[in-house]
Amino acid sequence: MQNKLNWSLGALLGTALAVVPCAVLAEGRPSLVNTRIATPFGSNGHSSTVDGRIFIGNIREDAATTTTTWIARVFRPEAVTYDASGKPSFSTAFSAGKRVDVHNGENALAFCFPNPAQPYALSSGVAVYQPFLFDSQMYNGPNRFRRRTVDVRVSQPFTTQAEVASFSTGALETLTTVTGAGIFGIEPTMTSDGRLLIFQGGPANNGGIDHMMYAYNPTPCAATGWSNPRPLSMMFNDANPGVKRYPLAWKRLKAATGEDFGDTTSGALVRGAYAWVDHEGRNLLYIAVTYTDGARREAVSLVGADTNWTTYHIDGAINTDRMDLAHLFYSGPMWNFEQERLPSQNFPSGQSNEAHYLPVTKTHDVLALFGSNTADYNEVDLGELMDPFQLLFLPMNELVTRAGAYDLTRTPDLSGRFFTGTLQGAASISAGNAVTRSAPTDSLWQPHGKGKALLVPGGSALAVNLTDASGTVPGVGAFVRGLSVELAVRPDADIQQGCTTGNPYRYLMQKQGGLDLIYEASHQVQFSLVVNGQRVRLGVSPALPVGQWSHLAYTWDGVTGVFNEYLNGVPTNRVLPVAPGTARLGTGPLFIGAGANLDAQRCPVNGEGSFRGAIDEVRLFTHARSNRSICMTAHGANCREEAIQHAPSAGQFAMSAQSPTCTGTQALNSQGCLSAMHRVCAQRGAGDAMASTTNTWGTIMQLVSNRPPISLSGVPVASTATDLTVACAPIQHQSVAVTFEELARIHAGCTDERRVTGTDCTAAAHRFCNSQGWTTGQVFEVTSRPWVGCFNSGLQTNVERSQLGPVSSLGDYTAAGSRLEVSQWCRARGYGAGVVQEIPSATAAHVHCFQPAVTASWKYAP
């Protein structure tokens, strides 16, 4: 089976692609998470519309006349260009704009659209935007929130010549709460539905600031009826069901060390400034640390559902240097300019983003953020925070404390386990972005770390104390049958200078009794892992260049015993030992940059010395990662084609090895099993199907285009105590990311991931796919948003629930038993599997039966 996958992809990419015109093949897209890009848009406070095409910012304040000048400019994605490395330029992407003077205005503002699905109207070729603008009073009294109407008209919209034809504002109205009180604070930001207002204020709502606050209104953009303001961390215990709709409110907010933020007005609250909330209220971007002027203008941070409700001090370009310049206002267009977005999803409907797109970084969930005070563009990858198999994720940047201050002695653990790293000896976190590149051209395609890095000059390390009182943490107290280790390393150019005697090897990483990673005197690296109580050594890797970054990764599949070694995202293809069994690191200290003895010798004659150089992005996972996953996290590595051709090992194809919660029949209706079925189909199922596909050209296009790769949603067919039989959707399909906001417009009940396995979201996916010309739709994955697979079924018919089987007859089509019954009903009629798409009546289901690309059985547990 694995050989079949290798043969299919190797043949397609090595032979069939030889006849594909070069223009058809997608150009590579670099990672921009390390790259701050200048833009011509500069102002103080600003806001951007829900479609991302209008920016309004403050460019002048006159206290003597209480006048603020706002400028409205058009963002023109059609004018974005890209250099040879894929880096975008915004030199002509912003129009000159129009100005208007307002009085008693404030430097920060927020758009609010009563109908965000239609942010503008077209009139005689002009795009007319008429939202509300919320701001707060800047002069003559406490900062009090108001709203006013705005009329912005754009000539030649959606072209490279788009320009603001006129810009005017209406009368002010003061915001009031349900008790008639004012709302006091600065720097407002709002969700796209116009109901959640977040701002900088104080718990007493008396004009104090320095805290993240919120208010809610069931009526979008209203002037009256707002809830009494509360601290952001109290969204968790807000009983209002309207507030609980927002993912920000689902769990208690935590600091980077795992400490809870307070859920009372006198607790340890989130201190911050210059907030921006994303469109659906999932995450909040804010500034966490005080700058040299005493205001919070450093450490751009994120907190919410996609950070596991833990504050994330962003490691990357947006925080290039610890105290480089004041960071104030950012906003983003969300997914509106994604290259993969279907034209029907765009503003305007039908316009393609294929040639002009943001973000550039080609991973699943990247925020595109424009700064006004900084006049820059940055990309932030959320996807790397979400992996459920992460045991340890050390970004090697500064830790920001719960009180909102830098702690330069520690670095956070982003895995959610809070194994915070502590610096030992002379180790330090670089003050600036540690990414160095030797060539100015195409440097985005040179392997590198990300953001800040751990600097170890010898005799120093980062220590991580692995604790597990319960003995249940996978990979620490509990044994696992898979493990992966990734990191970026940059040896000092003179690391071995003068070291001519003995065996001066050095530790890059050591966990006594668990694993070690040794930097040999030959500049090669050797990984060792304790399997079944015995240390298994892999031998030495290819030599690493000194003074340059390299990305190293090792995976171990305990089911088959297969090890893999990757350098810059590409398999080294060395012959490695085979060691099936179990492993765990055990509790106690894990050292990075040295061994436990912190040997300070310049030349460690007897070995066990300390590394000299930089180490970054250290990540451990409790399963064997695929080459594709490793390639995606190897910054700067051009490894896509090799990753596509490299077959995962057999042990990866257990359901719980794809998603840890998919452990048995009872979980078939879970988000975890949806994901696991998709992943086995996307990897192994795709290979099996392609070996006999009659649509080779379409298959090639799925693999090499910038559309999402083969996704193949999976449907359960049969289940036992140990095995699940999965039918993979047809090769001919379309996979696309949508938002819950979009799906809820199609079917009101599909509001968020808590309902993604229910009939509301199934109906929404069905209707979405119908609108694209397909018969059938299935949500197959949820990251920061749902992903829908569309395909064609051979039979679509209403079926009385009693005919489907005893579980379905009870009317719960989401139950695991019902899903299996539907597939069996379709199989009895000559098809391979089936899904319920709609509920047309109280006693019937609308069933779609299809012929799968492949049907195969997988173990639940490896």
- Would you say residue 8 has pLDDT above 50? no
Question: What is the CATH number assigned to the segment(s) 390-430+447-637?
Answer: 2.60.120.200
- Over residues 326-336, the mean pLDDT reads 94
- Would you say residue 12 has pLDDT above 50? no
- The count of C-alpha atoms lying within 13 angstroms of the C-alpha of 198, restricted to the half-sphere facing its C-beta, is 32
* Closest C-alpha among 166, 129, 80 to residue 347: 129
**Which of 87-96, 645-654, 672-681 bottoms out in mean pLDDT, i.e. has the lowest?**
645-654
Q: What is the largest CA-CA distance in the chain?
A: 82
| 65/823: higher pLDDT | 823
Tokens of 691: 């070996």
- Would you say residue 711 has pLDDT above 70? no
According to DSSP, residue 683 is labeled I
* pLDDT tens-place string over residues 186-235: 999 999 999 999 999 999 999 999 999 999 999 999 999 999 999 999 99
- Would you say residue 23 has pLDDT above 50? no
Average pLDDT, the chain: 91
Tokens of 255: 């600091």
Task: Give the highest mean pLDDT range of 336-350, 407-421, 593-607.
Answer: 407-421
pLDDT band at 142 (very low <50, low <70, confident <90, very high): confident
pLDDT band at 851 (very low <50, low <70, confident <90, very high): very high
Q: Return the sign of the alpha-carbon dihedral for residues 133, 138, 139, 141.
A: positive
**204-210: which pairs have CB atoms within 8 A and are 24 or more residues apart?**
204/265, 205/181, 205/229, 206/142, 207/142, 207/143, 208/184, 209/143, 209/185, 209/273, 210/271, 210/272, 210/273, 210/296
pLDDT band at 436 (very low <50, low <70, confident <90, very high): low
**3-state helix vs strand vs coil in the chain, percent to 5:** 15, 35, 50
Parse the chain into domains and list their residue ranges.
2-27+657-859, 42-384, 390-430+447-637
Torsion angle of alpha carbons 797, 800, 805, 809, nearest 10°?
A: 140
**pLDDT at residue 693 in the model:** 53
- Would you say residue 532 has pLDDT above 60? yes
**pLDDT at residue 25 in the model:** 37
**Which of 21-30, 138-147, 526-535, 556-565 bottoms out in mean pLDDT, i.e. has the lowest?**
21-30
**pLDDT at residue 501 in the model:** 85
Q: Rounded to whole angstroms, how far apart are CA atoms 49 and 69?
A: 19
**pLDDT at residue 4 in the model:** 31
- Over residues 333-347, the mean pLDDT reads 93
- Over residues 137-145, the mean pLDDT reads 87
**Stated pTM of the model:** 0.94
pLDDT band at 2 (very low <50, low <70, confident <90, very high): very low
* pLDDT tens-place string over residues 766-808: 999 999 999 999 999 999 999 999 999 999 999 999 999 999 9
**pLDDT at residue 688 in the model:** 67
* Closest C-alpha among 755, 676, 678 to residue 714: 678
- Over residues 141-167, the mean pLDDT reads 96
**pLDDT at residue 384 in the model:** 86
